Structure 1
Amino acid sequence: MIKLNYRNIKDSVIGCENGLNIDEMFLQYKDRIAEIITSLNERRSQAGEGLEWMNLGDHEQTIWYVKEFASMIRNRFDNVIILGIGGSALGGLAVTEALLKPYWNLLDNEQRNNFPKIFFLDNIDPDSMNGLLQVIDLKKTLVNVITKSGDTAETMSQFMILKDLMQKELGDDYRKHIVATTDKKMGVLNHIANQEGYKIFYVPDDVGGRFSVFSAVGLVPFAVVGLDIDKIISGVKDMDLALQNTDIYENISAQGALIHYLMDIYKGKKISVMMPYSSRLKYISDWFVQLWAESLGKELNNNFERVNVGLTPIKALGATDEHSQMQLFNEGPNDKLITFIRINNFDTVLEIPKIFEYTGIGYLGGKTINDLLNAEADSTQVTLLDYSRPSLTISIDSIDEYNIAQLLYMLEVQTAITGELYEINAYNQPSVEQSKNYTYALMGRAGYEGSADILREKLS
């Protein structure tokens, strides 16, 4: 089970200026938290609330279809390319990087149990896309194009390039190499996929991209590369059940949400640092950055009053960023709340041999890399305490499907509760849509000529 340790945000530990009297605050806010959780539990089944992501563990038909599809294409492809951006890619990238064997794409077929290599084209960088096309065989490649709207410029431009190449190289057979994940009722990709006969999976209504990791958006890539979908869903459902508890003292998502909120409004901690002590969890920080920033960074509250709230997320990696960002975290502005993620049991215990007697390194011999990583994590936390810097620690037993699913779902619910505390809509992103409209105008999309005129004036 996932655990949250909040000792290092207490005023008794880091002082009253930067710490909270957490017992008093829990008592003061326990009724408000209970109201929020009750409201989320009631609204999750109501259309238009943006909360269908809370029910994805019960989408049994989709789960069955995904597993059936993965079984049907088993051993057919050497590569799978995921086309998506933002929430259409980050969840898949975070989970596969965490759960697949390290350096998965460098392993041979036998080491991968004949599951395909997986590549995420989540940015429209021409050099990186062309570089991938130079090293893979399209005849042995499956392309999963993911866009709920069906007309995301970045994703669909990449799809147009790949479709053209595959059609030229594979002829009519190219259709068997494409699977679309998109909206069920509307959108250009939906139309193309139905017209051309691609396999289609649907993104449910009321599930935004950044909350879609446990929908077909994430499940299709997971299943295709051999991850255990049942264990993932089991982790989600068990955590969901635990987080329906309205008691602040028993609900770790509510605790995390309230602490972040209070640290902002009372202590000025407007920056949230996510720092896992595991390279395999590096991209979970990327996923969290989008989830936290896009959900909580809002100009208007639910009463349409200008509030300009938001907690700026920063990603860091232990122990790597002890040698880059930690100097700032310790001695720079005291405006950050750092969340560490600790792993209790790694898959590997790697011993350091006793081969040198030099004073500067000899002490390492006979220890393990695991010992060193844990010692550095402990030392980093204590150093932060020396500088009165608050931190939280999330601990998970091991890196597997069940625990990673629990971690991500816990962070999703934490985000939802935080949005309720700020009284904002955590499920829209109006300024992102504005930027998209400007892009359409610059690229000559019909109907956006007015935006083009505005852009030319502002860019001149």
Structure 2
Amino acid sequence: MKISLQYSGNYSKLLSSEIHHKIQTIHHLMATRSGTGADYLGWVDWPHSIHLESLREIQETADKICEQSNVLIVIGIGGSYIGSKAMLEALSTNFESSHPVEIIFAGHLVNGSYLKRLMHYLDSKEVTVNVVSKSGTTTEPAIAFHFLRNYMENRYGEEASSRIIVTTDENEGTLRSLAIEKGYKRFVIPHNIGGRYSVLTAVGLLPLAVAGYDIHQLINGAKSAAEEYSKLDLEKNPAIQYAVIRKHLYDSGYPVEILSTFESQLKYVQEWWKQLFAESEGKAGKGIFPTSVLYSTDLHSLGQYIQDGQRIVFETCLLIEKVQEDLTFVETKQNMDQLNYLNEVSLHEFNHICYKAASLAHLQGGVPQIAITIEQIDEEHLGHLFYFFMMACAYSAYLLDINPFDQPGVEEYKMNIFKFLKKPAYSYNRQLQTK
């Protein structure tokens, strides 16, 4: 299993002695856990360090949820929810759910109408809640959990404690303290893994297991990626290649990257990718702005800007070699729809031709092109792909001399919320800082 990466330019010409030296330095700092943000490099070895007992505990909990509930509410925001959502959407079908339990997300927005309607919907269901937050104080999920915990306690009484699961820090935090007091089942977000790099921990694994997918295969895919992308090889390691190309294009006046795909079930993988790269790189006035498009739909809207707009964009297309289901054209005698020229062409083949046509047009219009290809969409390949992007993102941020693992800008807006709402701890802390 391996990711294929293609670039429209001459990659070999990018490999200057300076780039070689920078990549070697980054590789050494990550391997020795001695670089900026090294306290949050736990994800690097995670696929190999996670214990089978931990996977067994997650699966047993998922089985229990499936026995007692037909709805699981996952409360979280940012990395505490988007990775789970991405995996579930990528693996599920569009119209028929084979999931033993319906999975609904909350806490990723603050919307009274949404929460009120959700609780009304739950009245006819059997419910389990999984709240995901390292600290337990992140405002949006804390608000959602406030209302949903009250709902669960009012509805189930003492039984609510067996229907609420907490995924949080091992040693500290408001949510951990509440879980101990109430007797909630707990899973750990490792202290050395940040939220947007936590998709392969219990944060993502528990909802995936509840949906009936194979979490062992997901980890196996990530293991193969960890082995492949830990190698210091600028010519053959696609994670390093992707980071080097991105840095070159950024330095060449292309500060915007568009991740495109023809696979609609990868929409939330794109959303996860945007959070990963935006929060990891967008600091100190630097960083590539990540955005996304879904083709062919967006070829008839944003495609115009990509083709003829400002030359500030480069495009990375995420391609899938094989699909599980497809349709193939068969010619008709009358040819009234004038589509007989598509005889024996499958829709997946059509999309690949559409990709080549769009890529060529955009390239001719001055848009540099990258293609990332995986064989198929399943648990193993998805785990591999997630790890690939995380490793490439770390290299990309380090090439910009950026700490990939903090998010000071996000913290700033949170402080402003506390200020406007006159949160007591915020006012007290601010008073201390001014003395």
* TM-score, normalised via structure 2 length: 0.93
Shift of 1:363: 3.3
SS for the counterpart of 2:39 is coil
Task: Report the equivalent of 1:290.
Answer: 275
Do structure 1's residue 387 and structure 2's residue 365 form an aligned pair?
Answer: yes
Match of 2:324 among 347, 351, 356: 347
The separation in 2 between residues aligned to 1:312 and 1:69, in whole angstroms, is 39
SS for the counterpart of 1:447 is helix
Match of 1:98 among 87, 90, 93: 90
Q: Which amino acid aligns with 2:81?
A: A
The separation in 2 between residues aligned to 1:38 and 1:406, in whole angstroms, is 22
RMSD: 2.2
Moved more, 125-134 or 80-89: 125-134
1:261-280 correspondence runs (5 A): 261-265=247-251, 267-280=252-265
Aligned length: 426
Relative to structure 1, is the Cα distance of residues 24 and 365 closer, same or farther in structure 2, using a 3 angstrom cutoff?
closer
**Residue 71 of structure 2 contacts residue 125 of structure 2 at CA under 8 Å; is this kept in 1?**
no
Relative to structure 1, is the Cα distance of residues 359 and 228 closer, same or farther in structure 2, using a 3 angstrom cutoff?
closer
1:358-373 correspondence runs (5 A): 358=336, 360-364=338-342, 366-373=344-351
The separation in 1 between residues aligned to 2:345 and 2:67, in whole angstroms, is 42
The separation in 1 between residues aligned to 2:210 and 2:25, in whole angstroms, is 40
Task: Report the equivalent of 1:132.
Answer: 118
Do structure 1's residue 39 and structure 2's residue 29 form an aligned pair?
Answer: yes
Task: Report the equivalent of 1:335.
Answer: 312
Match of 1:56 among 21, 31, 46: 46
Shift of 1:64: 2.9
The separation in 1 between residues aligned to 2:63 and 2:104, in whole angstroms, is 20
**Residue 44 of structure 1 contacts residue 51 of structure 1 at CA under 8 Å; is this kept in 2?**
no
Task: Report the equivalent of 1:419.
Answer: 397
The separation in 1 between residues aligned to 2:347 and 2:68, in whole angstroms, is 39
The separation in 2 between residues aligned to 1:35 and 1:3, in whole angstroms, is 24
Shift of 1:34: 2.5
1:142-221 correspondence runs (5 A): 142-221=128-207
Task: Report the equivalent of 1:3.
Answer: 3
Q: Which amino acid aligns with 2:29?
A: S
CA deviation profile, 1:376-402 (whole Å, cap 9, x unmatched) = 111111111221211111111110001
Relative to structure 1, is the Cα distance of residues 52 and 45 closer, same or farther in structure 2, using a 3 angstrom cutoff?
farther
Q: Which amino acid aligns with 2:275?
A: Q
* TM-score, normalised via structure 1 length: 0.88
The separation in 2 between residues aligned to 1:401 and 1:205, in whole angstroms, is 25
Shift of 1:39: 2.0
The separation in 1 between residues aligned to 2:395 and 2:372, in whole angstroms, is 17
Structure 1: gaps of 5 or more residues: 11-20, 300-307, 454-460
Percentage identity across paired residues of the two chains:
28
Task: Report the equivalent of 1:321.
Answer: 298
Match of 1:439 among 417, 426, 432: 417
Q: Which amino acid aligns with 1:173?
A: E
Task: Report the equivalent of 1:305.
Answer: none
Task: Report the equivalent of 1:13.
Answer: none
Task: Report the equivalent of 1:245.
Answer: 231
Shift of 1:176: 1.4
Structure 2: gaps of 5 or more residues: none
Shift of 1:451: 9.2
Do structure 1's residue 69 and structure 2's residue 46 form an aligned pair?
Answer: no
The separation in 2 between residues aligned to 1:231 and 1:74, in whole angstroms, is 20
Shift of 1:270: 0.4
Moved more, 57-66 or 388-397: 57-66
Shift of 1:47: 9.3
Shift of 1:147: 0.6
